[in-house]
Structure 1
Amino acid sequence: MDLTTHIQARPEAMGDVPGICQLPLTRAVVQYRELHEMDTPGGRIEDIGLALVVEGHQAGSAEVLDLGSGRIKVLDLSTELVVLDWVYEPTLGYVTELITEAAKTKQDEPLRSYAYKLGLRVLERVGFGPLTRPTLLRIGYRDICRDFDLHEGTS
């Protein structure tokens, strides 16, 4: 019987690549900022800076669903992200079904509604604190803009 105490480590060649981690981010609920967005920096007022990672196995980027707008985004993982919570596998499966259905039918209201409720549940579970304050302020600002919008939908 040959027992070895040698532990396999991550290859050193990958050690300097930003975003390399042992744990895939799929199912993570992350808080992001404008500097993380790769596709359309800046976003829209519906984006609340809280997203569910639907595909996070790549080292440099992750495909996420913004929990405010219900839109798919690509985030850059070369800078730090805050992971607030994790969702269960069945929840991710249901969200994936909603994304597929929205792409087929061009009706994204069920996806947006579910995503927003999911975001609120995560914020309720995590509670108010320094990590959640920016997201709660974004939601409040978005609601104020909607209340004062004289041209419904221009914000």
Structure 2
Amino acid sequence: MDPTTHIQARPEAMGDVPGICELPLTRAVVQYRELHEMDAPGGRIEDIGLALVVEGRHAGSAEVIDLGSGRMKVLDLSTELVVLDWVYEPTLAHVSELITETAKTQQDEPLRSYVYKLGLRVLERVGFGPLTRPTLLRIGYRDICR
């Protein structure tokens, strides 16, 4: 048995923030708003505000993929964030493979199609309510604009 353990510390910038959750958000399906976006605030019409966290071990930020557009984003986790559901490890592994394949081939349709269907399954499982209403309205508005 190996007595050493590997513990990843949270970033120092968030070390003094009380109440920071130590639970990694990797595999979480989250609902986000424009104020959460760190890289390029504001989005495209394809963004539905529902994302899968593909890398979320640190308290300050998380790498996500929007389940409407299939675009990678970095979200600021210093504000309130709604976790709607969790995906299984094989699902996350498949999404990661699709992300890698998309980066190689520049063909994003398989990734966009898969994550959109994943988002719809999550919304179906969670059901209609105050938490899912904004996402469903965004999807409807996006479809009308198309």
TM over 0.5: yes
Superposed CA RMSD in Å reads 4.4
Change (3 A) 1:110 1:60: same
* In structure 2, C-alpha distance between the alignment counterparts of 1:4 and 1:104, rounded to whole Å: 37
Partners of 2:103 and 2:59 in 1: CA distance: 26
Q: Over alpha carbons, which structure has the higher Rg?
A: 1
Number of aligned residue pairs: 146
Question: Contact (CA 8 Å) 1:47, 1:67: kept in 2 or not?
Answer: yes
Partner of 2:72: 72
Query: Aligned pair in 2 of structure 1 residues 2, 54: CA closer, same or farther (>3 Å)?
Result: closer
Deviates more, 1:11-20 or 1:82-91: 11-20
TM-score, length-normalised on structure 2?
Answer: 0.89
CA change 1:38–1:12 in 2 (3 A) is closer
Q: Give the gaps of 5 or more residues in structure 1.
A: 147-155
- Is the 1:64–1:72 Cα contact (8 Å) retained in structure 2? yes
Say if 1:18 and 1:77, in contact at 8 Å, map to a contact too: no
Moved more, 99-108 or 18-27: 18-27
The 3 A distance-change label for structure 1 pair 3 and 108 is closer
Q: Give the match for residue 104 of structure 1.
A: 104
Aligned to 1:18: 18
The TM-score with structure 1 as length reference comes to: 0.84
Query: Aligned partners of 2:54 and 2:80: how far apart in 1?
Result: 18
1:9: Cα distance to partner?
A: 13
CA distance 1:145–1:85, shift in 2 (3 Å): same
- 1:32-52 C-alpha deviation (Å, 9 max, x unpaired): 000000011011000000000
Q: Higher mean Cα deviation, 54-63 or 1-10?
A: 1-10
Tell whether the 8 Å contact from 2:10 to 2:59 is kept in structure 1 after alignment.
no
Structure 1 residues 50-84: Cα deviation after superposition (integer angstroms, max 9, x where no partner): 00000001121000000000000000000010000
Contact 1:28 1:85 in 2 (8 A): yes
Looking at structure 2, the residues matched to 14 and 74 of structure 1 have their Cα atoms a distance apart, in angstroms, of 16
SS of the equivalent of 1:140 reads: helix
1:12–1:141 distance in 2 versus 1, CA, 3 Å: closer
Q: Measured at CA, do residues 19 and 92 of structure 1 come closer, stay the same or move farther in structure 2, by a change above 3 Å?
A: farther
Q: Give percent identity, aligned residues only.
A: 91
